[in-house]
C-alpha cells in the first residue's frame, strides 16, 4: 500500500516535471535559434500555400512563436501576415506530421475568419 502511494506520487511529479520542460504535450516559448527555425518553417509553409491553392500571404513580423510536442510537432504563432492589400495580425498553427502524405496542417485564425489548409 505504501509502495503504491510512492509510485503514484513519483508518477505525478514526473508528469508535472515533463510538463514544465515541454515534452510531451507541454508548450515551449521559442527564442534564439529555435525562433529562427520556427520562422523558416512558417515562411516555407506560406510559400508552399501561395504557390498552390492559397491563401496568398507573405510573412510580415513574427510576434511570438511556441512549440508543442504532440503527435508530431505543433508550432503556434502570433504573426503579421501581408496579403495583397493589407497587413493583419493572425494566430497561425502549423501541425507537422512528416510521416503522413500532406502531413502539414496550417490553421490561419485571422480577424476575418478561420482557414485550415494542408500541404506536403
Ligand atoms: C521568407 O522567404 C523569402 C524567400 O525565400 C525571403 O525573401 C524572406 O526574407 C523570408 N522572410 C522571413 C521573415 O524570413
Ligand atoms: C486589392 O486592391 C485592388 C485595387 O484596389 C483590387 O482591385 C483588388 O481586388 C484587391 N485585392 C484583394 C485581394 O482584396
Per-residue model confidence as pLDDT tens digits over 56-87: 999 999 999 999 999 999 999 999 999 988 99
Average pLDDT, the chain: 87
Whether residue 8 lies inside any domain: the answer is: no
What average pLDDT score do residues 92-96 get? Answer: 97
Position in ligand 1 atom list of the atom nearest CA 39: 14
Whether residue 31 lies inside any domain: the answer is: yes
- Report the number of distinct structural domains present in the chain: 1
**Which residue of 37, 42, 43 sits with most ligand 1 atoms within 8 Å of its CB, as the best mutation to test the pocket?**
43
Whether residue 18 lies inside any domain: the answer is: no
Provide the residue range defining the domain that includes 50: 24-119
Secondary structure in 3-state letters for the chain? CHHHHHHHHHHHHHHHHHHHHCCCCCEEECCHHHHHHHHHHHHHHHHHHHHCCCCCCEEEEEEEEEEEEECEEEEEEEEEEECCCCEEEEEEEEEECCCCCCCEEEEEEECCEEEEEEEC
How many Å lie between the centroid of ligand 2 and the Cα of residue 69? 39
| Locus of grid cell 512528416 | 98
Whether residue 85 lies inside any domain: the answer is: yes
- How far apart are the two ends of the chain, measured CA to CA in Å? 52
Whether residue 6 lies inside any domain: the answer is: no
Q: What is the pLDDT of residue 31?
A: 97
Whether 84 is in the pocket of ligand 2, judged by its Cβ within 6 Å, is yes
Q: What is the pLDDT of residue 38?
A: 98
How many Å lie between the centroid of ligand 2 and the Cα of residue 57? 14
Whether residue 46 lies inside any domain: the answer is: yes
Whether residue 58 lies inside any domain: the answer is: yes
Q: What is the pLDDT of residue 84?
A: 85
Whether residue 56 lies inside any domain: the answer is: yes
Q: Closest Cα to atom 6, ligand 2: which residue? A: 85
Whether 86 is in the pocket of ligand 2, judged by its Cβ within 6 Å, is no
Residue 50: which CATH number? 3.10.450.10
Q: Closest Cα to atom 6, ligand 1: which residue? A: 43
Amino acid at each position: 500500500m505504501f509502495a503504491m502511494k510512492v509510485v503514484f506520487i513519483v508518477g505525478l511529479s514526473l508528469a508535472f516535471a515533463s510538463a514544465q520542460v515541454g515534452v510531451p504535450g507541454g508548450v515551449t516559448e521559442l527564442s534564439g535559434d529555435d525562433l529562427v527555425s520556427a520562422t523558416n518553417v512558417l515562411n516555407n509553409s506560406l510559400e508552399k500555400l501561395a504557390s498552390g491553392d492559397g491563401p496568398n500571404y507573405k510573412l510580415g513580423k513574427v510576434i511570438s512563436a511556441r512549440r508543442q510536442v504532440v503527435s508530431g510537432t505543433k508550432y503556434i504563432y502570433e504573426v503579421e501576415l501581408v496579403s495583397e492589400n493589407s497587413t493583419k495580425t493572425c494566430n497561425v498553427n502549423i501541425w507537422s506530421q512528416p510521416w503522413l502524405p500532406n502531413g502539414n496542417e496550417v490553421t490561419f485564425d485571422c480577424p476575418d475568419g478561420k482557414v485550415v489548409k494542408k500541404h506536403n
